[in-house]
Amino acid sequence: MPNVTHSCTPFPGQKPGTSGLRKKTRVFMEPGYLEAFVQSIFNAIVGASGKTFVVGGDGRFFNAEAIQTILRMAAANGASRVIVGQDGLLSTPAASNLIRQRGADGGLILSASHNPGGLDADFGLKYNTANGGPAPEGLTEKLYAETQRIAEYQTLDTDDIDLAQIGVSQLNGMVVEIVDPVADYAALMRQLFDFDRIRTLISEGFTLRFDAMHAVTGPYAKAILEDELGAPEGSVINAVPSVDFGKGHPDPNPIWAKPLVDLVMSSAAPDFAAASDGDGDRNMILGRSIYVTPSDSLAVLAANAHLAPGYDNGLAGVARSMPTSTAVDRVADALSIECFETPTGWKFFGNLLDVGRITLCGEESAGTGSDHVREKDGLWAVLLWLNILAVRKTSVHEIMQDHWRTYGRNYYSRHDYEAVDSAKAAQMMAELIERLPDLPGAAAGVYVVASADQFSYHDPVDGSVSENQGIRVQFEDGSRGVVRLSGTGTDNATIRVYLERFIPKDGDLDMETQTALQGIAEAMAHITRLPEICDRQAPDVMT
């Protein structure tokens, strides 16, 4: 069957420095748009010829159609094998695992993560490399260059492949292998965690609820939590992936997973509850009458990971993204292990994981993970928590109290200002950057600035430097404010302001979070001049 060459135009959609593309679904569906991006990926990796790829997505609207396009193009570009999750489904961490297990050259993952799905919502595609992680900056630069000069793409004129049928078929000489999306991932989890112990905990009456938010983790959570670990049927809710995520917003935080938070705050609360996002890489952890912030969760997991078989040798080191609270730094200090501060985005953990400098890492945006894959992993975090609870035989609430009594508490919240006029957001950042040298010593309410800078990261493994990664304001009492622009929004600019206040272990550990942070929020408003420049008085979302 002959290849078909179509011409296409370079497109402005790709942002430099990002490993994927996130756009409105209708944009992705424009003739030649997805194709131009896929061909740009193949060009950036110097051809697909002879290569093996993993392909799958979170099941959102256009997932299956996009996979058919990718399969045709991979075959036309000479790929030798493509491994696809049944029905086109693969969670992001499961895709990362498959790439590694099967020694694939890379993977194309279809998802816009926690953004809503549907014809009038969002779609995305990203490329992961052979280590299973998001493309590093060197490759994303090449990819960007390719998107700017792409002129034609290669495809085939063929019928669709049946994605529902597990097994092997051929597409113009390329092997298409449809696999169970859950099996290899579940096997990995079985190696890392003490399933017997968790099963015993559950059989003794420990109750849990997992909200898959109508997204990709449904089948994974059902298979592992219910079928294997014995949680009663119904413990996993919203478990069937749907193309529009039940018209919801599959973002596991107290805003978008509010019913779950309401449940744990009610008299019907289970002992443990959790949720994951569209593509299964994020997690939210809850206990009876308690919400665990992602930054605290990372710190607790670091302090207790040795209780799970996969980590019983201890941790090589830990890492957190810059805006993530410094709670984990205190644990690393106590364990005498290294703690790295990286820019936002999972790709920056890859090198540290690859060379064994770190074992655990995480971000304030509900991402936690380890060296088992090269993506953050929602269900993995849930299982590690369950393993810890099964060993310590105490409540989530008690684990948190105990943690704060040992290390002190980092009150933490992120305030998001969404759909801000892009020019105004840029102006606010530019003016702030100009004022940075004058900030140290300046008073903002009761807070005094100790230091202020623009974060740039020097990768200790490959020596690369990533600049302009957000603004850090350190206050004299150890509190901190961070401001940066989102790189994943699809609607104008999103400004994120991150607030952190440290209270030592003998201080007040039981304040309401927003109350504890109000002074820092005011100080940051004063310093950034966000309310005046962007004409916003309050954030749209506080997590």
Active site residues: 113
Task: Characterize the bridge pairing of strands 106-110 and 493-503.
Answer: unpaired
Site for Co ion in 380-439 (CB under 5 A): none
Structure tokens given for 279: 């593509």
Q: Number of residues in contact with Co ion, rule: CB under 5 A?
A: 5
DSSP state of 224: I
Considering the rule CB under 5 A, would residue 279 count as an interface residue with Co ion?
A: yes
Q: Name the one residue in this structure whose structure tokens are 């593309």.
A: 21
* Shortest distance (Å) from residue 462 CB to Co ion: 25
Q: Which of 61, 23, 98, 384 is nearest to 214 (CA)?
A: 61
If the CB atoms of residues 61 and 346 are measured against ligand VG1, the closer one turns out to be: 346
Query: Cβ distance 328 to 320 under 8 Å?
Result: yes
DSSP state of 14: P
* Shortest distance (Å) from residue 252 CB to Co ion: 9
Considering the rule CB under 6 A, would residue 113 count as an interface residue with ligand VG1?
A: yes
3-state secondary structure (DSSP) of residue 352: helix
Angle between helices 183-192 and 378-392 (to 10 degrees): 30
Among 97, 387, 488, 543, binds ligand VG1 (CB under 6 A): 488
If the CB atoms of residues 129 and 344 are measured against ligand VG1, the closer one turns out to be: 344
Report phi then psi at 432, rounded to 5: -65, -45
Segment lying near ligand VG1 (by CB under 6 A), choices 341-349, 474-482, 508-516, 529-537:
341-349
Task: Characterize the bridge pairing of strands 283-287 and 290-292.
Answer: antiparallel
Query: Cβ distance 17 to 140 under 8 Å?
Result: yes
Binding mask 110-149 for Co ion (x = CB under 5 A): ---x------------------------------------
If the CB atoms of residues 88 and 489 are measured against ligand VG1, the closer one turns out to be: 489
For residue 352, how many other CB atoms are within 10 A of its CB?
A: 23
3-state secondary structure (DSSP) of residue 86: strand
3-state secondary structure (DSSP) of residue 368: strand
CA distances in angstroms from 214 to 125, 210, 236, listed in the order given: 20, 11, 11
Partner that binds at residue 146, options Co ion, ligand VG1, none, CB closer than 5 to 8 Å by kind: none
Considering the rule CB under 6 A, would residue 217 count as an interface residue with ligand VG1?
A: no
Partner that binds at residue 363, options ligand VG1, Co ion, none, CB closer than 5 to 8 Å by kind: ligand VG1
Maximum separation of any 2 CA atoms in the chain, in Å = 73
If the CB atoms of residues 115 and 154 are measured against ligand VG1, the closer one turns out to be: 115
CA of residue 397 relative to chain centroid, distance: 25
Partner that binds at residue 460, options Co ion, ligand VG1, none, CB closer than 5 to 8 Å by kind: none
Considering the rule CB under 6 A, would residue 486 count as an interface residue with ligand VG1?
A: yes
Give me the amino acid identity at 454: Q
Q: List strands edge to edge, sheet with 367-370.
A: 338-342, 317-321, 360-363, 367-370
Phi-psi map region of 22: left, alpha, beta (phi>0 left; psi -120 to 50 alpha): beta
Query: Cβ distance 495 to 416 under 8 Å?
Result: yes
- Name the residue with the smallest CB distance to ligand VG1: 113
Binding mask 78-117 for Co ion (x = CB under 5 A): -----------------------------------x----
If the CB atoms of residues 278 and 310 are measured against ligand VG1, the closer one turns out to be: 278
* Shortest distance (Å) from residue 280 CB to Co ion: 7
Considering the rule CB under 6 A, would residue 487 count as an interface residue with ligand VG1?
A: yes
If the CB atoms of residues 304 and 342 are measured against Co ion, the closer one turns out to be: 342
3-state secondary structure (DSSP) of residue 487: coil
Rg of the chain on CA atoms, in Å: 23
Partner that binds at residue 368, options Co ion, ligand VG1, none, CB closer than 5 to 8 Å by kind: none
* Shortest distance (Å) from residue 281 CB to Co ion: 4
Considering the rule CB under 6 A, would residue 342 count as an interface residue with ligand VG1?
A: no
* Shortest distance (Å) from residue 310 CB to Co ion: 22
Segment lying near ligand VG1 (by CB under 6 A), choices 234-242, 297-305, 360-368, 521-529:
360-368
* Shortest distance (Å) from residue 90 CB to Co ion: 13
Residues that bind ligand VG1 (CB under 6 A): 113-114, 277, 281-282, 321, 344-346, 363, 365, 367, 486-489, 496
Residues that bind Co ion (CB under 5 A): 113, 277, 279, 281-282
